[in-house]
Chains A and B, each alone.
Chain A
Amino acid sequence: MSMGGNATDPVILATAGYDHTIRFWQAHSGICHRTVQHNDSQVNALEITPDKGMIAVAGYQHIRMFDLNSMNPNPLINYDGISKNVTAVGFHNEMKWMYTGGEDNTARIWDLRTRNLQCQRIFQVNAPVNCVCLHPNQGELFVGDQSGSIHIWDLKTDNNEHLIPEPDAAIQSLSIDPMGTMMAAVNNKGKCYIWTMTGGRLDEPTQLHPKKKFNAHSKYALKCLFSPDSTLLATTSADQTCCIWRTADLSLMTKLRDQNQRWVWDCAFSGDSQYIITASSDNTARLWSVDGGDVKREYSGHQKAVVCLAFRDEVVS
C-alpha cells in the first residue's frame, strides 16, 4: 500500500455526521473546500493517518480510507467484513496497524503494512464497544464499552484486565494524555473519572490509580480529551456544552456554550492547546478560543448533525 506521504496542508479539519458527507474545511477561514459523499451510512468516527495521507471514515459495517491529497471522490481502501457499526478508529503512530472498535462487541487490529504478513487480531468483550484509546506507548489498547467496563489489552502479551468504575453506566469516551501519565473516562451519567498511570514500559503493564471522580455534566457525557500539552481536559455533553478543566486541580476553566449549540459530540485541540474545535448536532462545528471561551469560527454547511471530526495541526515554534 502506498501512502501519499507528501502532505501539503499543515492543518487539516474534517467533519462528518448524519448527512452522509464528509466535509473538509480551511480551519482558519471557515471555508469548506471539499465534500466527499459517504453514501451508504452515517459516519461514526473520523481519524487522519499519522502521515496525513488519508482519512479513515468509520461507518456502518465499513471503514473507508479516503485520499487527503487529491480530490478523488471514491475511497482508496474499504475495510469490511464487520457485522455492525464501527464506532472507533485510530492508528499506530508508525502506521503499522489500525485499531477499530464496534457495536459487534469487538476491538480489532488491522494490518496496514503492504507486502508483509496478514495480521488481524480481535479482542472480544461482552458489550458494544463505544470507544477505543491507544496508550502513547503504542502497546496497550484501552477499550470502553456500553456495560461500563474499561478493558486494558496488552497487545504484545495479549494479557488483559478490566475495571468497572460505575456499573451500568456506559463508558462514552476515554482519553490518555500525551505523556501517558493520566487517563480520563466519561460515562452516560455525565461523570468523569481520572486515573494516574504508572508502568507501561517494556513488559510491565500499565497500572491505574484512581485519582478523582466528579460530575462533569448534568446529562450524558459524549467525549473527553486531553490537550496536547496535558494541562487541559475537555469534556463534551448532551447538555449542549463543552467544559474545559485544568488537569492540575480539575477546576473548571471555561464552559463553551452557544445559544444555537445542541449536543456536543466531539472535540479537538489545536497543537498549542489555545483553541478547541467542537462538533454539534446543530449541523455546525465551531472553533473556540480556550482562554476567552468565545467562538472564533463556525463551520456550517452540513445538512444534519455533525457527530465526529478529525483535526491535525502542527506546532511551528
Chain B
Amino acid sequence: MAMMDNIDFLIAHIRHSFITSDDTSMCELIMECESSNNNNNNTQRAGYRGSTGAYLKRDMSDSGGSEGVEGMDSGDGDFLSHSHDILPDMDYGAHRRRSNTAQRLDIMRKDKQAKGKVKSIPWKDAPVTLTVEERASLFEKKEVAVITPDGDATEGETPKKVSKLSKLLEDFSKYGENPYMEYAKFDGRSCVTPTKKIDIFLTMAPPKERAYPMTVVVITTAKVQDLIGLICWQYTCEGREPKLQHGVNHYCLHIAEDDGEVDADFPSLDNREPVLKFGFGKLALVECTPTIIPKHSFVVTINVPNRGFNKFQVDSLNMPMRSILEKVINRRKIRTRPGLYYNLEKQSEPGVSIDLDANLAHMDTMEFCMVRENSTRGDREEAPHHNELSHVADSLTSHQYKSFMVMMVHRLRANTEVQLGVSGEKVEIDPVQVRSSIRLIRQKPVTHEADSIADCDLLEKKSNGRGVFRLTYLTEHNYKHHDFEADVGVAMEIVQKLKNILELRLSPARKEFITTQDRKLRKRDSLKYSI
C-alpha cells in the first residue's frame, strides 16, 4: 500500500482495527475518549472542510495522480486519521447504541464522501482568449468521410454491412425465446429499488441438485405470481435442466426447510399477494398437481347482434379489450375495411362504447356486445324470434316435474311458504315446516290430479316485482281455487307450464270450466247490452 510510510495513517489504521474487531466495544470507549481529548471537535470539522477544498482545487488543476497521497501531503492528517465508519457518540454519553440521528449523519457523511470523489467542473463565465492555433486545432472543420452505399460499382463484392447488434440478435434467437421474458422486469439484481433475496429450491431439478437453491433477487413490489415468473425466467436464462414445460400458472411456491424439504403442512403462497408480505428467505418452487392448478382463465362472451355469440377463454384479466375484439373479428373472419370499425359495448349498457385500450379487469363484466361503429345493436327485432323458440322448448318440457318455492295466499291469515311441485300428472302443494311459529291451523299437503285442474291464470303483477296467480281445480262439483304469490318471473313460468299441460291433456274438467267461463262472459255481455 502506498500509505504505509505515513505514521498518522498507520496509527489510525491500527486504532480502527482494534475498534472494529472488538465486540465488547470497550476498545472504542477507551480510544474514542482518548482521541477526543486530543483533538477537539472544531478543528476536526475545519479539517474536513479544508480537505474538500483541497479536492476542489485539485479538480481544477487535475493532477491525474493518486488522490489519497495528495490528500496526505496537503497536511490533512486530522481528517484522515479518523475512520469514516466510526463516529464517537459524544452527544449521547459514552455508552449508548447509535441513535437514528447518528446513523443518518453517518449516511450523510458517506454520501458527502462519495461526492468528494466526484470531480466537479463548474462553468466559468470568464472569457477565454484562444490563439489562432488553438482555435484551429479545436474547431477546425474536418473532411466528412463519404460513405459508399452498399453494392458500390467499384467494389461489387462488398458484402452487405452487418452490425454487431444484428449479429447478436441473430445469435440470440438461435437459443429460442425465453417464454418468461415479461417477468424479467422483476429481477432486482441490477436495480436500485428495494429488493429481496430469496433462495429457491427447485423440486423439478435432478435429485443431486435439489439441495442447492437458486438465489433470486426480486423487487419488493412484485407479487407472488411475478416471483414465480421471475424464477422461471432465471431458470431458463441459466439454462437449467430439465426445461420448464408449463406456464407460470402451473407452479406454486411453498415454504421450505433449510435443507430444501418442502413444508407440506402449509398451503402454497397466494399468487395475488405481494412478495413483501411473506418473510421467508427460503421457498420451494413446486409444480402444481392438476387439481390445484388455480383456475385463472375467464370466459368472455361477445354477442353479435342477429348473429349469435362467441365465447372465449381468456387467461388473464390484463388482456386489453382491443385484442378481444380482434379475436372475434378473426374468428368470424369479418373483413375490416378502412373506415369500417367495430366497437364493444357492455351487454348491460347498450349504446355506450367501451375504451378498447382498457383491460378486461376494468370492465366488471364478462359479457359484451360487438357493434359496428356508428350503429346500434337493433336486438329488438331479434327478441320475438328468440321467444318463439323457447316457447316450443317450454311446451315440450312442461310435463316434466319441477318444483317452485312460492307463498300461498290465504284469505284470513298470513301467507305461508309452500313448495309447489308441478308435473304432467299432478300438482302437489307441500307446506314448508316452520318450526318456531305455532300454527293454529296446520296446513296439510294437498295433491291435485292434473285432470282435476281447470285453470291457472295470473291475477296481478305487484309493483314490488311479485305476481299473484290462481290455480282453479274441481272438487266433486265445485270449482275451488288456491292463490299463490311468487316473483313475477316464477309466477309466469308456473302459469305457462300449467297452461301447456292443460292444453296437452284437455281434461273434462278443463272443458267444462271453459264452457262455463264462456257462458258467464256471454251472460255478462248480454246484461250489458240489455241495459
Q: Which residues of A contact B (CB under 8 A)?
A: 1-2, 10-11, 21, 23-24, 27-37, 73-82, 96-97, 108, 110, 114-115, 117-122, 135-140, 155-156, 178-180, 200-203, 228-231, 259, 270-272, 274-275, 296-298, 300-301, 303, 313-317
Whether the Cβ atoms of A138 and B141 lie closer than 8 Å is yes
Whether the Cβ atoms of A270 and B118 lie closer than 8 Å is no
Whether the Cβ atoms of A27 and B168 lie closer than 8 Å is yes
Whether the Cβ atoms of B166 and A33 lie closer than 8 Å is no
In the complex, what distance in Å separates the CA atom of A82 from the CA atom of B122? 8
Specify which chain B residues have a CB less than 8 angstroms from the CB of A1 in the assembled complex: 62, 64, 119
Known pairs A120-B128, A259-B357, A317-B159; A75 contacts B118 (CB<8 A): yes
For this complex, 19 residue pairs linking A to B, each with C-beta atoms less than 8 Å apart, are A1-B64, A11-B168, A23-B190, A34-B190, A74-B118, A78-B118, A78-B121, A96-B138, A114-B64, A119-B134, A122-B125, A138-B140, A139-B139, A139-B141, A270-B165, A270-B166, A271-B165, A272-B165, A275-B166
Known pairs A34-B190, A136-B144; A77 contacts B128 (CB<8 A): no
Chain B residue with the shortest CB-CB distance to A74 = B114
Specify which chain B residues have a CB less than 8 angstroms from the CB of A314 in the assembled complex: 163-164
Whether the Cβ atoms of B190 and A32 lie closer than 8 Å is yes
Whether the Cβ atoms of B146 and A179 lie closer than 8 Å is yes
Specify which chain B residues have a CB less than 8 angstroms from the CB of A115 in the assembled complex: 62, 64
Among B146-166, those with CB < 8 Å from A are 146-147, 149-150, 159-166
Q: Which 7 A-B pairs have the closest CB atoms?
A: A271-B163, A81-B123, A139-B141, A28-B168, A155-B139, A81-B122, A272-B163
Known pairs A274-B166, A275-B165; A37 contacts B141 (CB<8 A): no
**B362 at the binding interface (Cβ < 8 Å):** no
Known pairs A30-B181, A35-B191; A315 contacts B139 (CB<8 A): no
Size range of the interface on B? 35 or more
Specify which chain A residues have a CB less than 8 angstroms from the CB of B164 in the assembled complex: 10-11, 271, 313-316
Task: Report the minimal beta-carbon distance from B329 to chain A, rounded to whole angstroms.
Answer: 15
In the complex, what distance in Å separates the CA atom of A271 from the CA atom of B115? 36
Whether the Cβ atoms of B165 and A27 lie closer than 8 Å is yes
Chain B residue with the shortest CB-CB distance to A136 = B144
In the complex, what distance in Å separates the CA atom of A69 from the CA atom of B528? 108
Task: Report the minimal beta-carbon distance from A64 to chain B, rounded to whole angstroms.
Answer: 8
Task: Report the minimal beta-carbon distance from B239 to chain A, rounded to whole angstroms.
Answer: 13
Whether the Cβ atoms of B143 and A137 lie closer than 8 Å is yes
Whether the Cβ atoms of B190 and A117 lie closer than 8 Å is no
Known pairs A32-B187, A202-B141; A259 contacts B162 (CB<8 A): no
Specify which chain A residues have a CB less than 8 angstroms from the CB of B147 in the assembled complex: 178-179, 228-230
**B136 at the binding interface (Cβ < 8 Å):** yes
Task: Report the minimal beta-carbon distance from A59 to chain B, rounded to whole angstroms.
Answer: 14
Having A117-B128, A314-B163, one finds 16 other A-B pairs with CB under 8 Å, namely A23-B190, A28-B169, A28-B171, A34-B190, A35-B190, A79-B122, A80-B123, A110-B123, A117-B134, A138-B140, A138-B142, A156-B136, A179-B145, A201-B141, A259-B357, A316-B164
Whether the Cβ atoms of A201 and B114 lie closer than 8 Å is no
**B307 at the binding interface (Cβ < 8 Å):** no
Task: State the majority secondary structure of interface residues on A.
Answer: loop
Whether the Cβ atoms of A74 and B139 lie closer than 8 Å is no
Specify which chain B residues have a CB less than 8 angstroms from the CB of A259 in the assembled complex: 320, 322-323, 357
Task: Report the minimal beta-carbon distance from B355 to chain A, rounded to whole angstroms.
Answer: 12
Task: Report the minimal beta-carbon distance from B142 to chain A, rounded to whole angstroms.
Answer: 5
Task: Report the minimal beta-carbon distance from B128 to chain A, rounded to whole angstroms.
Answer: 5
Known pairs A2-B64, A28-B165, A34-B190; A79 contacts B121 (CB<8 A): yes
Question: Quick one: which of A77, A118, A178, A315 contacts B124, CB cutoff 8 A?
Answer: A118
In the complex, what distance in Å separates the CA atom of A71 from the CA atom of B121? 22
Q: Which residues of B contact A (CB under 8 A)?
A: 62, 64, 114-115, 117-125, 128, 130, 134-136, 138-147, 149-150, 159-169, 171-172, 181-182, 184-185, 187, 190-193, 237, 320, 322-323, 357
In the complex, what distance in Å separates the CA atom of A108 from the CA atom of B125? 11
Specify which chain B residues have a CB less than 8 angstroms from the CB of A76 in the assembled complex: 118-119
Residue of A1, A28, A297 with most chain B CB atoms under a 10 A cut-off: A28
In the complex, what distance in Å separates the CA atom of A139 from the CA atom of B140? 6
Whether the Cβ atoms of A272 and B130 lie closer than 8 Å is no
Whether the Cβ atoms of A119 and B138 lie closer than 8 Å is yes
Residue of B64, B124, B161, B193 with most chain A CB atoms under a 10 A cut-off: B161
Chain B residue with the shortest CB-CB distance to A314 = B164
In the complex, what distance in Å separates the CA atom of A261 from the CA atom of B330? 23
Chain B residue with the shortest CB-CB distance to A156 = B139
Residue of A24, A122, A259 with most chain B CB atoms under a 10 A cut-off: A259
In the complex, what distance in Å separates the CA atom of A135 from the CA atom of B169? 31
Whether the Cβ atoms of B192 and A21 lie closer than 8 Å is yes
Whether the Cβ atoms of B117 and A74 lie closer than 8 Å is yes
Whether the Cβ atoms of A114 and B168 lie closer than 8 Å is no
Whether the Cβ atoms of B64 and A33 lie closer than 8 Å is no
Whether the Cβ atoms of B169 and A296 lie closer than 8 Å is yes
Whether the Cβ atoms of A140 and B141 lie closer than 8 Å is yes
Specify which chain B residues have a CB less than 8 angstroms from the CB of A139 in the assembled complex: 139-142
Specify which chain A residues have a CB less than 8 angstroms from the CB of B163 in the assembled complex: 270-272, 274, 313-316
Specify which chain A residues have a CB less than 8 angstroms from the CB of B322 in the assembled complex: 259
Known pairs A10-B164, A156-B141, A180-B144; A29 contacts B62 (CB<8 A): no
In the complex, what distance in Å separates the CA atom of A100 from the CA atom of B134? 21
Specify which chain A residues have a CB less than 8 angstroms from the CB of B135 in the assembled complex: 156
In the complex, what distance in Å separates the CA atom of A1 from the CA atom of B119? 10
In the complex, what distance in Å separates the CA atom of A230 from the CA atom of B149? 9
Whether the Cβ atoms of A137 and B142 lie closer than 8 Å is yes
Specify which chain A residues have a CB less than 8 angstroms from the CB of B138 in the assembled complex: 96-97, 119, 155
Specify which chain A residues have a CB less than 8 angstroms from the CB of B62 in the assembled complex: 1, 114-115
In the complex, what distance in Å separates the CA atom of A296 from the CA atom of B170? 11
Task: Report the minimal beta-carbon distance from B138 to chain A, rounded to whole angstroms.
Answer: 6
